[in-house]
Amino acid sequence: MSMPLLEQAVLDLCCTTLPESVAIAGLGCSSGPNTFCAVSEIVTIIYKRCCQLGRSPPRFWVFSNDLPGNDFNSVFKSLLAFHEKMRGKNGEEFGPCHVAAVPASFYHKLAPPRTLQFVYSACSLHWLSQFQRDFSLFLRLREEEIVPGGCMVLPFKARRTPDPVPDESCLLRDQLAQALQELVSEGLIAEEKLDSYNVPFYEPYTEDIVTEIEKEGSFSINGLEIMALPWDSPYGGQNYDRPTSAQKLAKAMRAVHEPMLASHFGAEVMNPLFKRPMEIIAADTREVEHVAVLVSTTRKT
């Protein structure tokens, strides 16, 4: 769903005078089969557009950023498959992409001033402490790093209503909270442990996103789209029975939350904990859409 806006942002970048080297930053790259998905699309669009225009394609530099605890060894092990995929999409004459790891929070400086042509961050910017403070800091830092005319595309979780606690934002986390409370009742988790647990997760209202971008002033908004995915989208939109759907959704929930939960409550309670959301979701007939926003911006000249 995000591809049309992403493709248009890249094509707009190709309308400028591209330098001999193009630097692309993937912020919150994680590790695994999705790490280079967006980067491969961005590089392919630029490469093919340059070929269509009779221009020499640039050399590509990719900066893969995530927190220092990310498994960057796996990222670099997947480079061979990434380069083979790129040659398969673009032809054997396609040259290598130079990839570097940047282990740091993207609420810090990541690159030298005016070095990045394209920044992409998928499903990461809802991990913050205070929205206005953290998002405005993110924008100020990227303003320093992105060249004038450079692009930034940001898909992340958001909400489409002013209400800060709609079901579509809170239902799954309420069900997880219910599971944690059950472990407290059974004596597996101390109540004070639960009371002190806070998730650094916030889904901003879409109008607040626009307000912060305009207030910071360095980026023009080219497009903003709201994407609402069906309740069963984390497992491919298959029409399973309710218990099977609940099991798969609980697995998706575990994939996101387990590192934080294990760090706070201990790894030994993870298996009993994640049996509960499956049962809770199966018994609950409510279904909510998963809402995200896709923002495309250009660094002002």
pLDDT in tens, 27-53: 999 998 889 999 999 999 999 999 999
How confident is the prediction for the chain on average, in pLDDT? 92
Could you tell me which residues come within 8 angstroms of residue 262 by beta carbon, excluding any fewer than 6 positions away? 270
pLDDT digits (tens, 9 = 90+) for 169-193: 999 899 999 999 999 999 999 999 9
Between residues 242 and 11, the one the model is more confident about: 11
Question: Using an 8 Å Cβ cutoff, are 83 and 39 in contact?
Answer: no
Backbone angles phi, psi at 61, to 5 degrees: -120, 130
Q: How many angstroms separate the CA atoms of 293 and 291, rounded?
A: 7
Identity of the residue numbered 224: L
Compute the average pLDDT of residues 6-19: 91
Report pLDDT for 220: 97
pLDDT digits (tens, 9 = 90+) for 69-125: 999 999 999 888 888 888 888 888 787 789 999 999 999 999 999 999 999 999 999
Q: Report the chain's C-alpha Rg in angstroms.
A: 21
Report pLDDT for 235: 54
Report pLDDT for 238: 62
Q: How is residue 179 written in tokens?
A: 């599971």
Among 32, 88, 94, smallest CA distance to 60 is for 94
Identity of the residue numbered 243: P
Q: How is residue 157 written in tokens?
A: 């979780």
Q: How many angstroms separate the CA atoms of 146 and 14, rounded?
A: 15
Biggest alpha carbon–alpha carbon distance for the chain: 69
